[in-house]
Amino acid sequence: MPLPTPQALARTYRTPGYEDPWECVTDYQRVLEYTAEHPDRGSSAVATRLNLPRSRIRPWMNDSRPDVVRGIQTAEANGWLADHATPDTTTALVALAAWALSGGSINHGEGGAHVYFSLDHDDDDYFATLASTAGFEYHVVNETTSERATEARPATDGSVLARVLIAMGVPRTATEKQDTTSLPTFVDTLSAALRLTFARVYVLNRGAKHPDKDTLTIRVKRPDAYLDELVEVLRAASDEPVTRTGKTVTVSAAAARVLLPAQRL
């Protein structure tokens, strides 16, 4: 299953007082269960009984939730986790992961997690369909200027979406993306249909056309091992020749006909 578990999503958070953020989730659940069974107990008694700091659990007993819990609940509600996703949502998230790798960026730091998707005018309808299927709205920025890339930025639940993609294995920073030596491991687990979805999005964003031939070229500054994996994925998805010379991946005309919509050839 390409989508993350709650545990994997939890570990994209920084949670004060915990080395493993998932332990915060389990502690929060313990507090909820205990207070449901003992509604008259105060925070001091609950803290003593569960061996947790009172300062930590008092807000939880007053209906506050840790960020990590809120994020998991949002992802579950949107169907972004392995046990909650529909086939259509899974397909959309695989496509969005491919988009973040090939034509987008994630920034995960002190200010939280953010994801942006670069848009070409020919891609607008397809991206809108992916966003609708995944269940989020977005803003389009830089649409009227040629000096900066046009981007789709999630307007709802964008931080959680970014963390879901990180938990799937998408690099969490531009530097990490530049240096990574392999595609995310979930790509190896994809069915033929999902692998084709992944490959089509990658070629849609990175495939350069040429006026005198029907082949496409993809040129990205990535380590050789990464490019070799990309070649294998595109070749397997299209069942047609795809090769690499240096930093350039060449998608044969036959492969391009499989991997690109007819209107983009």
> Last residue of some domain: 115, 146, 178?
178
Do the domain assignments include residue 73?
A: no
Do the domain assignments include residue 206?
A: yes
> Last residue of some domain: 178, 203, 226?
178
Do the domain assignments include residue 79?
A: no
Q: What is the pLDDT of residue 146?
A: 67
pLDDT tens for residues 72-123?
999 999 999 999 999 999 999 999 999 999 999 999 987 889 999 999 867 7
- Is pLDDT above 50 for 263? no
What domain range is 106 assigned to?
Answer: 86-178
Domain count, the chain: 3
Query: How many CB atoms neighbour CB 102 within 10 A?
Result: 20
Do the domain assignments include residue 75?
A: no
90 and 58: one domain? no
Exposure b/e, 181-191, CB count within 10 A at least 16 = b: eebbebbeebe
233 and 203: one domain? yes
User: How many Cα atoms are found within 13 Å in the side-chain-facing hemisphere of 227?
Assistant: 20
pLDDT tens for residues 20-57?
999 999 999 999 999 999 999 999 999 999 999 999 99
Q: Which long-range contacts (CB under 8 A, 24 or more apart) does 175-179 make?
A: 177/101, 177/105, 177/106, 178/221, 178/222, 179/223
Strand 248-251, strand 242-245: pairing: antiparallel
Four-CA torsion 243, 244, 250, 256, nearest 10 degrees = 40
pLDDT tens for residues 143-196?
666 667 889 999 989 999 999 999 999 999 988 998 999 999 999 999 999 999
8 A C-beta contact, residue 237 and residue 201? no
Q: Which residues contact 176 (CB under 8 A, 6 or more apart)?
A: none
200 and 157: one domain? no
pTM of this structure: 0.93
Alpha-carbon gap, residue 6 to 87, rounded angstroms: 18
Query: How many CB atoms neighbour CB 148 within 10 A?
Result: 9
119 and 134: one domain? yes
Q: What is the pLDDT of residue 265?
A: 44
